[in-house]
Chain A
Amino acid sequence: MPRKTKLADKMQRTLGQAPRSTGELARVPPVTLPVAYPIEALVPQVRLQTPAVGQRATRPDGRLHGLGQTRYIDDLAFPGMLYAKIKRAGIAAARILSIDTSEADAMPGVLAVLTGREIPVNSFGPSLQDQPVLADTQVRHAGDGVAAVAALTEQIAEAAIEKIKVDYEPLPAVFDPLEALREDAPKVHAPAGNVYATKVIRKGDVDAAFARADHVFEGRYATQMVEHVPLEPHAAIAMWDPNGRVTIHSTLGRITLGRSDVSRTLKLPMNRVRIVATIVGGNFGGKNEITQEPVLALLSKKTGRPVKGVFTRGEEFTSTTTRHPFVMDYKTGVTKDGRIIARKVRLVLDGGAYCSWSETTLGKACILSAGPYRIDNLRVEAYVVYTNKTMTGAMRGFGAPQVCFAYESQMDEIAAALHMDPLEIRLLNAFEEGAASPTGQVLHSVVLKASLLKAAERFGWKEPRS
């Protein structure tokens, strides 16, 4: 029987049967919330004043945010809309031998099932296209999606993904970034090695400078993996129009890149893809690339209905990008009066299973790693490696909070050893207007010393301590 007729039959059957008593199959009609807020907006005085720059102007929709009346994607519904769920691997490294979706497909209320093999171009990524939309041959971290369903309700979709059977052949895995660096470590993206980007900065003569330093300090610092935890999870709704065009409402923070990724994965010309970003309930770098958008688009194409997907809090942790854990080795040579004359930095970034924004993070971390200090002799080497863990990507600071923790911890160690005030040693080494950065860039509008002094004054740093 042709697929179309089967689907139509099934929809008929499901809708006709929908027994209210069992609960599981109860059909919930899509509901759009009524407009509850006053359409007449209150405009605070400050938004009406000129000149505009420097004003403490509020957002036009700030009041609704405060009242909890802002409509996010989860508050939107379109007629006939379906709900999608993605089955997660739950195993960190494995070959996929088979995926059996027949039982899920046969469930009443399930209107479509999708696996990675059905995705026209099953890979994406902002710099390396190394991430599958749904894993089809190999799982590289436990949060990988392996199949998806679209159903009449979220509950049915959730029950259906439990019925999907995936046969795995476990593969050796590596979780520690330093272990992943070793030649004999399991390769996450075999046959390629685990190091997928490196960066180097060289300035001056580090060895000679260390030789003439009065003191040399060495330390290793490490940071953990954290999540962005936006209040609103990743959410999107996909639907097609009669022109063969897909419109995706999404929580994406970068719609231009989102459109190019969707167009690539679906093999559609860009003018057949429209991405509309809604009010986003927090991004912090976690919503910079597509996640489920191609899956929803294909499920929508299969069923001819709008399809919504909203990640659970669990998926936010396991299946979206996180912050790179860093292992940072710092060696710093100083003169006896506290001036830094040489610094060697080695950074190893845990890149997780896929590249995502690792290359950018690596670059920023590398450039910033010496700190906002005038250091004439510098060597920085930075690597990002694959591990079989949740992918790491863009997150507020792109590697800067990690290296700042290292260079500022060591700065205090140096100050303590030299019996210097932590503020004074920073002022002594701080960048000034026209300073050369580690990459040889001449810096302008440098107000580091002003910020140090301002903070110290506000804190009461120089006042006697109780």
Chain B
Amino acid sequence: MKRRGRGIACMWYPIGFTVSANPSAATVKVNEDGTATLLTGTVETGQGSLTVLAQIAAEELGVATDDVHVVSADTDGTPMDTGAIASRTTYVTGNAVRLAAEKAKQILFETAAPMLGVKPEQLEARDRNIQVKGFPQRNVAISVVAHRAQVVMGQPPIGSASWNPPTLAMDPETGQGKPFSTYVYATQIAEVDVDDETGEVEVLRIVAAHDCGTAINPMLVEGQVEGGISMGIGFALQEQILFDDAGRQINPNLTNYIMPTTLDMPEIKVDIVDSYDPTGPFGAKGVGEPTSVPTAAAILNAIHDAVGVRITSLPATAEKVLAAIKAKQAQQTKRIAAR
């Protein structure tokens, strides 16, 4: 018989990593037509980080995402970056990109100020214009300013910057210190059906409420959460590298190493928790890794809720769950017999 259960798990997760500094650098070049080119040493590994970085540069320059073209991942042509790891790209590289864009923007402001008859500090960049704060109708197009900066002023609007999260080394004796600059928080709740005759677990739905600071791109956040959950389901129920007695893997293939497929995916509801981190670019933190952190714990708690057995070693395969259910039944039978 199928028994339904629910389980909750929450977590915290740091952005960036310890052991050593992890800086990022970036260069933003505003072209004569008001479009921009962003140079970054990070790598797009499928998560959409380059889109997020383009959005950050665009926001700072007051242009649209499509106005920023991103050149990435060439040790010759792009500035140093610690890399696409540790959920750090939006936060660390994002801060570097924002600072680089700010520097390029400063040159635009200096060029535009005499054109608008104000001081550079009185300007802001919005909707592809450089405009006077509080008087948006007093504006000049970024394309005009960028062209003038280069061709008339001889000052191409280019900005480069780097950023490293401020941390304090941990004391080796007590572990006290500030190992990370900031953390994100999340909760996932899973609903499962457990077949008490086969031990098979079906994940029916998962709700996920994740904090990532400002969501620079909510669609990409949702994508990360859904992907992380699929990984978490595999970790919870199916995936395991097995070794023989001589230490050789016995299932190094996708026939015998069972991963969740689209057919195993539950209904997923993603909520982005309202949050703003003043140390991140436009309040953003990160979201990549945390998405797969609480999934297994939530599913295992749901299994316990459904059939009353606690599986303490992952993965909770059908065999393992069934053995635990049978052991529990045998114990109950014994108790009845003892009466």
Q: Do A and B bind each other?
A: yes
Bound: A409/B296 CA distance, A: 10
Task: From A372, A396, A448, name the one whose CB has the most chain B CB atoms within 10 angstroms.
Answer: A396
Please tell me if the beta carbons of A50 and B127 are within 8 angstroms of each other in the complex.
Answer: yes
Tell me the smallest distance from the CB of B28 to a CB of chain A, in Å.
13
Q: A200-B175, A445-B213 are contacts. A256–B81 as well, Cβ < 8 Å?
A: yes
Known: A219-B312, A284-B231. A363 touches B179 (CB 8 A): yes
Q: A56-B219, A454-B271 are in contact. Are A253 and B85 (CB under 8 A)?
A: yes
CB neighbours (8 Å) of B210 from chain A are 451
> Cα distance A229–B172 when bound, in Å?
35
- Measured as residues with beta carbon below 8 angstroms from the partner, the interface class of chain B is 35 or more
- Quick check: B58 and A256 within 8 Å, CB to CB? no
Q: Is A285 interfacial (CB 8 A cutoff)? A: yes
CA distance A389 to B248 in the complex (A): 8
Stretch at the interface among B39-47, B146-154, B157-165, B329-337: B39-47
Fill in one digit per residue for A223-256: 1 if any B CB lies within 8 Å of its CB, else 0: 1111101000000000000000000000011111
Q: Which residues of B contact A438 (CB under 8 A)?
A: 175
Is A439 a contact of B10 with CB atoms below 8 Å?
no
A-B contacts, CB under 8 A, total: 383
The answer to whether B185 and A255 touch across the interface, beta carbons within 8 angstroms, is no
B319 at the interface (CB under 8 A from A): no
Write the A52-78 contact mask toward B (1 if CB under 8 angstroms, else 0). Answer: 111111111000000000000000000
Which of B66, B178, B189, B251 makes the CB contact (< 8 A) with A441?
B178
Partner pick for A445 among B55, B187, B276, CB 8 A cutoff: B276
- Cβ of B239 and Cβ of A227 under 8 Å apart? yes
Q: Give Cα distance in the complex from A284 to B259, angstroms.
A: 15
> B31 on the interface (CB 8 Å rule)?
no
CA distance A228 to B80 in the complex (A): 26
Q: Least Cβ distance of B277 to chain A in Å?
A: 4
Q: A175 → chain B, closest Cβ, in Å?
A: 5
Complex-state Cα separation, A451 to B186, whole angstroms: 6
Instruction: Please name 11 further chain A to chain B contacts, defined as beta carbons within 8 Å, in addition to the given A274-B75, A447-B274, sorted by A numbering.
Output: A49-B65, A227-B241, A282-B45, A314-B252, A317-B251, A408-B9, A412-B7, A437-B183, A439-B178, A448-B12, A455-B187
Q: Which residues of A are at the interface with B, using a C-beta cutoff of 8 A? A: 43, 46-60, 90-93, 127, 141-143, 173, 175, 199-203, 219-227, 229, 252-259, 273-285, 287-288, 313-314, 316-318, 322-323, 359-360, 363-364, 366-368, 371-372, 380, 388-390, 394, 396-398, 400-401, 404-405, 407-409, 412-413, 422-423, 426, 430-431, 437-441, 443-448, 450-452, 454-456, 458-459, 461, 465-466
